[in-house]
Amino acid sequence: MTSKENILISLAEKISNEDIRIIDLTNTLSSEFPVIVLPPEFGQCDHFSMETISKYDDNGPAWYWNKISMNEHTGTHFDAPAHWVTGKDLPNNSVDSIPLKNFMAPAVVIDISKECAKNSDFLITKKFLIGWEEQYGQIPKNHWIALRTDWHKFVGSPKYLNMQNDGAHSPGPDKSAVEYLVHEKNCIGLAVETVGTDAGQAFDFDPPLPAHSILHGNGKYGLQCLRNLDKLPTFGSIIVANPLKIENGSGSPLRVFALVDGQNDEL
Partner 1 sequence: MTKQKKYLTKKNPLVKSKINHVSSHLRSRATKALACHAAKGDFVLQECSECQYISYPPRDRCPKCWGVLTWKHQKRHATLLAETTIHSTTDLYFREHVPWRIGTILLDVGPTAFAHLHSNVQVGDKLKIHVMLDRSGNPALFAMPRKVTVNMEEDYQYSQFTASPKGKRILISDGRTEIGQKLTYELIKAGAEIVYLGNADSNLRFKGQDSISKHKNVKIIPLNLLSTKSVKKCSQQYGGKVDILINTASYVRSGSIAFSGKITEMQNAIDLNVNGLTRLAKAFCPAMSARSGDEERPAIAFLDILSIFSLTSHPDYASLAASSAARLSIINSLRSEMSLSGLKVFSTLIGPIEDEWHQDIPPPKVTAEQIAKSVITSLKNGQELTLVGNVAKDIFEKWSANPLLTMRETIK
- Choose between 40 and 91: whose C-beta lies nearer to partner 1: 40
Q: Show the binding pattern over residues 113-152: x = contacts partner 1 (CB under 8 A), - = does not.
A: ----------------------------------------
Among 18, 51, 134, 166, binds partner 1 (CB under 8 A): 51
Please confirm, yes or no, whether 83 is among the known catalytic residues: yes
Catalytic residue among 73, 83, 143, 152: 83
* β 251-253/77-79 pair status: antiparallel
Among 47, 126, 169, 231, binds partner 1 (CB under 8 A): 47
- By CB under 8 A, the residues from 22 to 41 that bind partner 1 are 30-32, 34, 37, 40
- How many residues of this chain interact with partner 1, rule: CB under 8 A? 18
- Determine, following the binding rule CB under 8 A, whether residue 49 of this chain makes contact with partner 1: yes
Stretch that binds partner 1, among 106-114, 116-124, 153-161, 222-230 (CB under 8 A): 153-161
- Choose between 9 and 50: whose C-beta lies nearer to partner 1: 50
Exposure letters 25-46 (e unless 16+ CB within 10 A, then b): bbbebeeebbbbeeeeeeeebe
- Spatial neighbors of 44 by CB under 8 A, at least 6 apart, are 35, 37, 38
- Spatial neighbors of 222 by CB under 8 A, at least 6 apart, are 78, 79, 83, 189, 190, 191, 192, 196, 197, 211, 212, 215, 216, 251
- Choose between 157 and 248: whose C-beta lies nearer to partner 1: 157
- By CB under 8 A, the residues from 60 to 89 that bind partner 1 are none
- Determine, following the binding rule CB under 8 A, whether residue 160 of this chain makes contact with partner 1: yes
- Determine, following the binding rule CB under 8 A, whether residue 163 of this chain makes contact with partner 1: yes
- Choose between 37 and 90: whose C-beta lies nearer to partner 1: 37
Q: In whole angstroms, how close is the CB of 255 to partner 1 at the nearest point?
A: 21
- Choose between 162 and 218: whose C-beta lies nearer to partner 1: 162
Q: Which of 158, 167, 170 is nearest to 198 (CA)?
A: 170
Q: In whole angstroms, how close is the CB of 100 to partner 1 at the nearest point?
A: 31
CA angle 137, 143, 146 (to 5 degrees): 80
- Choose between 45 and 90: whose C-beta lies nearer to partner 1: 45
Q: What is the set of active-site residues?
A: 83
Residues of this chain that bind partner 1 (CB under 8 A): 30-32, 34, 37, 40, 43-44, 47, 49-52, 157-158, 160-161, 163
